[in-house]
Amino acid sequence: MAEGVIVARSARVGEGRVLAIGNTHEEGMIATDNLNPQKAAVLLALALTKTRDPQKLQRFFDEY
């Protein structure tokens, strides 16, 4: 992340949410909420066509 790599954190469990709060979340990391890794990867790829700003990318995951 320090070198500009976008990191999205997701979970492979059957249910549950990955939120942008708590001790496992780092500044600049994208929390994928309830999306599984495959869906999160697709949304991240689409969002990266519009911006590389982590805050704006997080808004995509908060909305969709």
Q: What pLDDT does 10 receive?
A: 83
The C-alpha angle 2, 49, 27, rounded to 5 degrees, equals 30
Q: Provide the residue range defining the domain that includes 54.
A: 8-63
| Residue tagged 């979970």 (tokens) | 11
pLDDT digits (tens, 9 = 90+) for 20-59: 665 555 667 888 888 889 999 999 999 999 999 999 999 9
CATH number where 53 lies: 3.40.50.40
Q: Is 3 part of a structural domain of the chain?
A: no
Give CA–CA dist 17/20, Å, rounded.
Answer: 10
pTM, 2 dp: 0.77
Strand, coil or helix: 33: strand
Q: Is 35 part of a structural domain of the chain?
A: yes
Q: Is 2 part of a structural domain of the chain?
A: no
Give CA–CA dist 2/34, Å, rounded.
Answer: 26
Q: How many domains does the chain have?
A: 1
pLDDT digits (tens, 9 = 90+) for 39-48: 999 999 999 9
